[in-house]
Structure 1
Amino acid sequence: MLTLTENASAIVNEITHQPGLAETAGLRITTEDSPEPAFAVSAAEQGEPGDQVVEQGGATIYLDASAAELLDDKVLDAAVDPSGKVEFALGVQA
């Protein structure tokens, strides 16, 4: 199952715990239709039917079935660049 670094958990929490968002809010990762594996990340009020739910450090990630399979042995990291843009990176679990 996908795991999150402390940085990723903190950033996901910051994104999804804004005033006015539902308690079920999280990031949703879906696969994109392309020759190489590609993912789309978006804020979501809740998961979709069939999504795998990853909860770690108070952060919630929803994965569509294909993303869940592809990310099963991965670690999600995140950082904020100098311009304030969030960047996500994937690594292999040790």
Structure 2
Amino acid sequence: MLTLTSGAVQVIRSVTADPELPPETGIRIESGVNGSEALRLSVAPAPEAGDQVVEEEGARVYLEPTVATLLDDKELDAQVEPTGDVAFTIAAGAT
């Protein structure tokens, strides 16, 4: 199962902390469009049917079923760039 670094937990909690968002709001990762190998990441109010849910310390990530398989042994990290942009990275999981 995908694991989250402490950096990813902090960033996801920050991104989804808006009190006007539903309490189940998380980050959803899905496959790209038109056969693209890139993954798409977006803020989602809740998981979609069939999504795998990864939750750690209040940070929620919703994985489209095919993406869940692809990222099964991976680790999600995130950091805020000096410009204020958020950068997510996926790497081999810690052993």
Is TM-score (shorter-chain normalized) higher than 0.5? yes
After TM superposition, list the pairs within 5 Å mapping 1:5-16 onto structure 2: 5-16=5-16
| Cα distance in 1 for residues equivalent to 2:39 and 2:66 | 10
Deviation of 1:51 (Å): 0.3
- Aligned residue in 2 for 1:62: 62
Considering only aligned residues, what root-mean-square deviation do their CA atoms show, in Å?
0.8
Partner SS for 2:9 = helix
- Aligned residue in 1 for 2:47: 47
The answer for unaligned runs of 5 or more in structure 2 is none
Partner SS for 1:82 = coil
TM superposition score normalised by structure 1? 0.94
How many residues align structurally?
A: 92
- Report runs of 4+ in structure 1 exceeding 3 Å deviation: none
After TM superposition, list the pairs within 5 Å mapping 1:72-83 onto structure 2: 72-83=72-83
The answer for unaligned runs of 5 or more in structure 1 is none
| Cα distance in 2 for residues equivalent to 1:79 and 1:53 | 21
Deviation of 1:19 (Å): 1.6
One-letter identity of the residue aligned with 1:31: S
